[in-house]
């Protein structure tokens, strides 16, 4: 039997020197890769978070007499006895996203109100049940849809203004031959990566160490330093592997600070791993949205008016905006374009970044409304989008660094067989199913930040690259191995990669789909500098065949250094280093975005097509096929890149059909806080996913030509499925997720 490809030895380098398999694949599947809660730390103790059971009010007392006497208990921390921190919350009050036992106020049901530390987890959990907690309750706001009239603007300015306006929208609407005015709603979603949040913290004197499941070791380090009032250099954060992030681990949540606080109090290492149910509240969620989209077009499909007004829920702790209308400002041409974002305050945990925050929900409303318009105009949905194609960024009136969305539409439509679609709903039937085709546009911004890396060329012919980034399971190890190998001209299999340690050169948060675009250039720069140092050694070494040549005239490949003009003149990397004393060569370098970020807009796009089968009796929806093509610049690694896009699409299926947090209207707790009841797709829910990319390098954006791919896969996918359900059934469900009861009642 041939072993599956994952277990085969690395293929010889492809022309792009891509790693065919994940650098860390073997360690992952054999269990060698350690996640934050798995590190053996001597003398570790266990902490358990106790959560509020009321949604609003204040703590009156916590009687810990019985709990304190329970077996194995080492400490019980509450707002009545917890150490006062120099910084009560890690950010100014208006952006307080966590509570760390510094106040008695209750903002939501599920808020951490105590921490029990014990010799074992079971003892900590048992003692927690013995706490006698008295609250003073107040009426809570737990309703969203009935309170949209109360919506207010965000208090904190975002990166882009909350509102935008171009043209005269009412004139454009009244001049339109056809208009659409619809409201789409999307639910609260909670983060559920395979690995729930976990922290192990211990102090060495005044120095704090943590293993933490995080998307941002540098941010963790800064937040912990500020919160405890200690120098940044006295905090070390390690996180070599992350079992999924998606935005959930981009912030330093309460439990990280509480683990460190507890470790200080008991004078021992403390492990604090959240239970699955604790993922629903204290660590952020995607806000619920109500989105009004108005479109106006001429009879031949030219958009005159686009209006997208978004209302989201927000917590009482900080304003987090799910910016659902941002893509609407530039996705299509139109003489008028108006968007707004408003918020309704609720007694729930804070909102947070969740895969494609904004676009994931915003493309549902916009791209379904476009489908409604296409139907009303009797124009093909792809054609409608091509008629209104934005050749440049209409919101900023400037060119794109690269855009091949037109090719995405045609490539994906061809592979999908879009021409076979019947525009009239309900016409295509197979057995007991109605079959429908739908499509949507996908889009996500291209981000990039400053990043640094260190490269060493070792005398044994291997190389090392270190970078203070983190691999969420997405491929950072693989990309760094590739970039280093490419820069040094060696086989990627000879590169050792280290990341996930705040002692390494700094890298940005692995969020906003920016890691590869940020760390790739840093790795390349460090490799180039190390290589130049190697060349200098060679040309200055009288024993080298390269002696006396110009360093810049050399190149390297497969462990050899040679003169570009006469490749026969060569030396080996190992010989050069051995003669120079057998020490490694080392270079640290940084890379950051170029100057002209205002001259262009960098944005990724895609086209996603879906085929659904809807059972005539049960109304159950099966997504049979998704075919998508993305315009994301260079695809840096085939396997990890395509996997990312596929994963985003799977979450799109989840958003379309399954996923939704249900809030108890009286007590404000999430009712379905388990993976049994918080529905996400399983393998049987996912049909064929066929993904390609246009692969046109965006070298105006960065030297790799690569824009990010972490988030774009979720965008558009849920709209394409909703549009396919309409094409199958003639029923337009505007309240997501599209569960079978809604189809039945429509
Ligand atoms: Mo992403 S939501 O920026 O991890």
pLDDT in tens, 276-301: 999 999 999 999 999 999 999 999 99
Q: What is the pLDDT of residue 6?
A: 33
Neighbour count for residue 529 (Cβ, 10 Å): 17
Pocket of ligand 1 (CB under 6 A): 215, 245-247, 250, 353-355, 357, 511-512, 711
pLDDT confidence bin for 11, thresholds 50/70/90: very low
pLDDT over threshold 60, residue 194: yes
Among 55-59, 93-97, 134-138, the range scoring the smallest mean pLDDT is 93-97
Residue 688 near residue 611, CB atoms below 8 Å: no
Tokens of 386: 């091509």
Residue 317 near residue 350, CB atoms below 8 Å: yes
- Name the pairing type of β-strands 554-557 and 560-563: antiparallel
Rounded CA gap, 493 and 538, in Å?
24
Q: pLDDT tens across 610-661, in order?
A: 999 999 999 999 999 999 999 999 999 999 999 999 999 999 999 999 999 9
Q: Which atom of ligand 1 is nearest to the CA of 472?
A: 4
Distance 353 CA to ligand 1 centre (A): 5
Residue nearest to atom 4 of ligand 1 (CA): 247
Which of 192, 214, 353 for a ligand 1 pocket mutation test, highest count of atoms within 8 Å of Cβ? Answer: 353
Residue 717 near residue 626, CB atoms below 8 Å: yes
Cβ neighbors of 331 (< 8 A, separation 6 or more) are 366, 390, 441, 443
pLDDT over threshold 90, residue 18: no
Placement of tokens 């006396």 in the chain? 548
Q: Which atom of ligand 1 is nearest to the CA of 215?
A: 4
Cβ neighbors of 617 (< 8 A, separation 6 or more) are 432
**Tell me, what DSSP letter sits at residue 670?**
B
Rg of the Cα trace of the chain? Answer: 27
Q: pLDDT tens across 658-672, in order?
A: 999 999 999 999 999
Tokens of 484: 């280093």
Q: Which atom of ligand 1 is nearest to the CA of 250?
A: 4
Q: In what order do the strands lie in the sheet with 73-77?
A: 73-77, 112-118, 45-51, 270-273, 198-204, 207-212, 235-238
Q: Which atom of ligand 1 is nearest to the CA of 512?
A: 3
Buried b (16+ CB within 10 A) or exposed e, 331-356: bbbbbbbbbbbbbbebbbbbbbbbbb
Distance 526 CA to ligand 1 centre (A): 27
Residue 52 near residue 106, CB atoms below 8 Å: yes
Placement of tokens 């041409």 in the chain? 333
Residue 388 near residue 330, CB atoms below 8 Å: no
Q: pLDDT tens across 202-248, in order?
A: 999 999 999 999 999 999 999 999 999 999 999 999 999 999 999 99
Distance 711 CA to ligand 1 centre (A): 7
pLDDT confidence bin for 12, thresholds 50/70/90: very low
**Residue 617 to residues 42, 439, 739, Cα–Cα distance (Å):** 59, 25, 14
Distance 512 CA to ligand 1 centre (A): 5
Tokens of 83: 């150490």
Q: In what order do the strands lie in the sheet with 164-166?
A: 164-166, 336-345, 303-314, 289-297, 178-186
- Name the pairing type of β-strands 235-238 and 207-212: parallel
* Measured distance between the N- and C-terminal CA atoms of the chain, rounded to whole angstroms: 51
What's the average model confidence in pLDDT over 302-313? 98
Which of 192, 213, 246, 351 for a ligand 1 pocket mutation test, highest count of atoms within 8 Å of Cβ? Answer: 246
Which of 248, 326, 711 for a ligand 1 pocket mutation test, highest count of atoms within 8 Å of Cβ? Answer: 711
Instruction: Tell me which of 322, 359, 372, 711 is the catalytic residue.
Output: 711
Distance 359 CA to ligand 1 centre (A): 12
Residue 102 near residue 85, CB atoms below 8 Å: yes
Distance 623 CA to ligand 1 centre (A): 26
Mean of the per-residue pLDDT values of the chain: 94
Among residues of the chain, what percentage have pLDDT more than 90? 92
Residue 587 near residue 533, CB atoms below 8 Å: yes
Q: Which atom of ligand 1 is nearest to the CA of 246?
A: 4
> Residue 113: helix, strand or coil by DSSP?
strand
Q: Which atom of ligand 1 is nearest to the CA of 510?
A: 4
DSSP line for 525-573: HHHHHHHHHHHHHHHT-TTSTTTTS-GGGEEEETTEEEESS-TTSEEEH
**Residue 676 to residues 211, 462, 643, 659, Cα–Cα distance (Å):** 29, 47, 25, 12
Long-range contacts of 593-601 (CB under 8 A, 24+ apart): 593/448, 593/449, 593/450, 593/702, 598/398, 599/398, 599/399, 600/398, 600/399, 600/400, 600/401, 600/700, 600/701, 601/330, 601/393, 601/396, 601/398, 601/399, 601/400, 601/401
Q: What is the pLDDT of residue 595?
A: 65
Neighbour count for residue 15 (Cβ, 10 Å): 5
Q: What is the pLDDT of residue 188?
A: 98
State the sign of the Cα–Cα–Cα–Cα dihedral 164, 170, 171, 173: positive
Whether the bond into 737 is cis, omega within 30 of 0: yes
Secondary element (H or E) of residue 255: helix 254-266
Q: Which atom of ligand 1 is nearest to the CA of 353?
A: 2
Rounded CA gap, 641 and 474, in Å?
8
What's the average model confidence in pLDDT over 27-44? 96
Quickly count helices (H) and strands (E) in the chain. Answer: 15, 29
Q: What is the pLDDT of residue 4?
A: 34
State the sign of the Cα–Cα–Cα–Cα dihedral 373, 376, 382, 388: negative
Distance 543 CA to ligand 1 centre (A): 53
Beta strands in 600-716 (DSSP E): 603-615, 621-631, 686-693
Q: pLDDT tens across 544-581, in order?
A: 999 999 999 999 998 999 999 999 999 999 999 999 99
> Residue 498: helix, strand or coil by DSSP?
strand
Distance 718 CA to ligand 1 centre (A): 18
Q: What is the pLDDT of residue 88?
A: 60
| Helices 217-228, 254-266: inter-axial angle, 10-degree rounding | 50
Placement of tokens 């997501």 in the chain? 736
Tokens of 679: 């529905």
- Name the pairing type of β-strands 112-118 and 164-166: unpaired
Placement of tokens 């659904």 in the chain? 612
pTM of the complete model: 0.95
Placement of tokens 């704090």 in the chain? 208
Q: What is the pLDDT of residue 8?
A: 32
Q: pLDDT tens across 689-734, in order?
A: 999 999 999 999 988 899 999 999 999 999 999 999 999 999 999 9
Buried b (16+ CB within 10 A) or exposed e, 161-185: ebebebeebeebbeebebbbebbbb
- Name the pairing type of β-strands 603-615 and 433-445: antiparallel
Partnered with residue 610 across adjacent β-strands are: 438, 626
Q: pLDDT tens across 448-506, in order?
A: 999 999 999 999 999 999 999 999 999 999 999 999 999 999 999 899 999 999 999 99
State the virtual CA torsion across 23, 28, 32, 34 in degrees, nearest 10. Answer: 100
Among residues of the chain, what percentage have pLDDT more than 70? 96
Q: pLDDT tens across 253-284, in order?
A: 999 999 999 999 999 999 999 999 999 999 99
- Name the pairing type of β-strands 112-118 and 73-77: antiparallel
Distance 343 CA to ligand 1 centre (A): 21
| Helices 359-377, 638-657: inter-axial angle, 10-degree rounding | 70
Residue 50 near residue 238, CB atoms below 8 Å: no
Annotation says 711 is catalytic: yes
């Amino acid at each position: 039997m041939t072993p599956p490809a994952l277990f085969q030895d690395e293929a010889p380098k492809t022309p792009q020197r891509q790693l065919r398999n994940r650098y860390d694949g073997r360690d992952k599947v054999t269990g060698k890769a350690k996640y934050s809660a798995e590190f053996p730390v001597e003398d570790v103790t266990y902490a358990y978070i106790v959560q509020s059971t009321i949604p609003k009010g204040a703590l009156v007392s916590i009687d810990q007499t019985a709990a304190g006497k329970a077996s194995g208990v080492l400490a019980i921390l509450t707002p009545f006895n917890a150490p006062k921190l120099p910084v009560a919350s890690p950010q100014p009050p208006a952006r307080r996203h966590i509570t760390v036992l510094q106040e008695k106020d209750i903002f939501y049901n599920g808020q951490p109100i105590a921490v029990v530390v014990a010799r074992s987890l079971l003892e900590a959990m048992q003692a927690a049940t013995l706490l006698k907690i008295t609250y003073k309750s107040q009426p809570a706001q737990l309703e969203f849809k009935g309170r949209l009239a109360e919506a207010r603007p965000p208090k904190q300015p975002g990166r882009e203004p909350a509102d935008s306006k171009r043209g005269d929208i009412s004139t454009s609407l009244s001049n339109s031959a056809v208009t659409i005015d619809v409201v789409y709603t999307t639910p609260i979603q909670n983060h559920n990566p395979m690995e729930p949040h976990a922290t192990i913290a211990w102090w060495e004197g005044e120095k704090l160490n943590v293993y933490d499941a995080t998307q941002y070791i540098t941010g963790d380090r800064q937040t912990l330093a500020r919160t405890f009032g200690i120098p940044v250099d006295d905090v070390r954060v390690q996180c070599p592997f992350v079992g999924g992030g998606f935005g959930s681990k981009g912030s330093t949540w309460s439990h990280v600070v509480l683990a460190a606080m507890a470790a200080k109090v008991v004078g021992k290492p403390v492990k604090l791993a959240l239970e699955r149910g604790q993922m629903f509240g204290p660590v952020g969620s995607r806000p619920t949205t109500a989105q009004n989209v108005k479109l106006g077009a001429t009879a031949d499909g030219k958009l005159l008016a686009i209006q997208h007004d978004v209302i989201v829920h927000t917590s009482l702790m900080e304003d987090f905006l799910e910016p659902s209308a941002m893509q609407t400002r530039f996705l299509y041409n139109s003489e008028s374009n108006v968007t707004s974002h408003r918020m309704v305050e609720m007694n729930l945990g804070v909102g947070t970044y969740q895969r494609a925050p904004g676009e994931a929900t915003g493309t549902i409303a916009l791209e379904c409304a476009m489908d409604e318009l296409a139907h009303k105009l009797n124009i093909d949905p792809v054609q409608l989008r091509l008629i209104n194609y934005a050749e440049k960024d209409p919101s900023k009136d400037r060119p794109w660094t690269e855009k091949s969305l037109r090719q995405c539409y045609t490539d994906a439509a061809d592979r999908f067989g879009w021409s076979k679609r019947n525009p009239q709903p309900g016409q295509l039937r197979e057995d007991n199913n109605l079959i429908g085709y739908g499509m949507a546009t996908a889009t996500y911004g291209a981000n990039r930040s400053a990043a640094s890396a260190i490269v060493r060329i070792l005398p044994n012919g291997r190389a090392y690259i270190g970078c203070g980034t983190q691999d969420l399971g997405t491929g950072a190890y693989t990309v760094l191995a590739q970039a280093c190998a490419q820069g040094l001209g060696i086989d990627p299999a000879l590169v050792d990669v280290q990341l996930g340690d705040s002692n390494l050169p700094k890298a940005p948060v692995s969020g906003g789909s920016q890691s590869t675009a940020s760390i790739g250039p840093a790795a390349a720069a460090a490799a180039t500098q190390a290589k130049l140092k190697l060349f200098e050694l060679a040309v200055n070494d009288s024993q080298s065949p390269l002696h006396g040549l110009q360093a810049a005239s050399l190149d390297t490949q497969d462990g050899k250094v040679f003169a570009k003009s006469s490749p026969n003149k060569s030396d080996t990397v190992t010989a050069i280093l051995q003669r120079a004393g057998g020490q490694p060569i080392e270079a640290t370098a940084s890379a950051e975005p170029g100057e002209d970020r205002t001259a262009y807009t960098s944005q990724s796009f895609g086209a996603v097509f879906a085929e659904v089968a809807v059972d005539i009796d049960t109304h159950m929806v099966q997504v049979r096929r998704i075919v998508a093509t993305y315009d994301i610049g260079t695809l840096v690694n085939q396997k990890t890149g395509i996997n990312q896009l596929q994963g985003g699409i799977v979450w799109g299926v989840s958003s379309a059909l399954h996923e939704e947090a249900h809030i108890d209207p009286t007590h404000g707790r999430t009712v379905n806080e388990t993976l049994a009841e918080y529905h996400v797709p399983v393998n049987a829910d996912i049909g064929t996913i066929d993904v390609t990319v246009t692969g046109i390098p965006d070298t105006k954006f960065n030297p790799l030509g690569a824009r990010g791919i972490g988030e774009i896969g979720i965008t558009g996918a849920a709209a394409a499925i909703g549009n396919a359900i309409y094409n199958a059934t003639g029923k337009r469900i505007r309240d997501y997720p599209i569960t079978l009861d809604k189809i039945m009642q429509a």
